[in-house]
């Protein structure tokens, strides 16, 4: 059993050294000449207060989303649905300017739906009693620039992260009963 592993390790080492020119740059991402592999969003509430931040890190198989929120609204305590909406526009009062869910796959909504999930679906996130939220969620149904043929968050009209008033039941249509849009953030490329 050891032999195949050694062979693989050897191949990987050779592969790495073939690309590491100059040697000092070997620790840096090889895709540094490509589009940035991170994005971010400043999260605002309906009163237009900046109450948090989201970070989007493109990995080889999906996007890791880190959300940090400190909401001053006591009623925010509890579970909330969070989705990726198709337009990078949080300019109107109820955030409907961010459009519907990113869903070129035309699947139904819901992580627990046999006909789903749509590309925008994510697990619920939890706001604590003091209004704080810290969460990481991962999805392979979107990408930053079209990696692995998943729809791009950073496409021509952008995208938005939307946190809803209620929790998402992950099955009912069209958005799992998540209700109105509580928080919105335009997703922008990080440099």
Residues lying near Cu ion in the complex (CB under 5 A) are found at 83, 162
To the nearest whole angstrom, how small is the minimum distance from the Cβ of residue 190 to Cu ion? Answer: 23
CB of 162 to Cu ion, least distance (A): 5
**Nearer Cβ to Cu ion (126/148):** 126
Long-range contacts from 141-145, C-beta under 8 angstroms, 24+ separation: 141/105, 141/117, 142/63, 142/84, 142/102, 143/58, 143/62, 143/63, 144/35, 144/36, 144/37, 144/38, 144/39, 144/56, 144/58, 144/63, 144/189, 145/35, 145/58
Shortest CB 100 distance to Cu ion, Å: 8
Q: How far apart, in whole angstroms, are the C-alpha atoms of residue 8 and residue 137?
A: 31
CB of 177 to Cu ion, least distance (A): 11
Min dist CB 135 to Cu ion, Å, is 16
51/120 with CB nearer Cu ion: 120
Among residues 51 and 162, whose Cβ is nearest to Cu ion?
A: 162
Let me know if 184 is exposed, middle or buried by CB neighbors in 10 A (0-12, 13-18, 19+).
buried
Q: Which is nearer to Cu ion, 71 or 124 (CB)?
A: 124
Which residue from 135, 163, 141 is spatially nearest to 153, judged by alpha carbons?
141
- Whichever of 37 and 41 has its CB closer to Cu ion, that residue is 41
CA 179 – CA 187 distance, rounded (Å)? 21
Residue 141 host element (H or E): none
Closer to Cu ion at the Cβ: 62 or 99? 99
Q: In whole angstroms, how close is the CB of 9 to Cu ion at the nearest point?
A: 44
Taking the C-alpha atoms of residue 60 and residue 11, their distance in angstroms, rounded to an integer, is 20
């Amino acid at each position: 059993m050891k032999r195949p592993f050694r062979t693989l390790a050897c191949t990987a080492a050779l592969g790495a050294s073939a690309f590491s020119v100059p040697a000092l740059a070997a620790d840096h991402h090889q895709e540094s000449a490509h589009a940035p592999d991170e994005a971010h969003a400043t999260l605002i509430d309906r009163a237009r207060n900046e109450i948090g931040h989201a970070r989007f890190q493109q990995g080889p198989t999906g996007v890791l989303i880190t959300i940090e929120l400190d909401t001053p609204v006591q009623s925010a305590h509890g579970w909330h649905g969070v989705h990726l909406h198709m337009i990078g526009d949080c300019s109107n009062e109820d955030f409907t300017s961010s459009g519907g869910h990113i869903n070129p796959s035309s699947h139904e909504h819901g992580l627990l739906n046999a006909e789903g999930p749509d590309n925008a679906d994510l697990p619920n996130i939890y706001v604590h009693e003091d209004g704080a939220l810290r969460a990481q969620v991962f999805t392979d149904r979107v990408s930053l620039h079209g990696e692995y043929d998943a729809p791009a968050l950073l496409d021509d009209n952008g995208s938005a992260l939307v946190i809803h008033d209620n929790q998402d039941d992950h099955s009912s249509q069209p958005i799992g009963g998540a209700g109105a849009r509580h928080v919105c953030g335009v997703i922008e490329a990080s440099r």
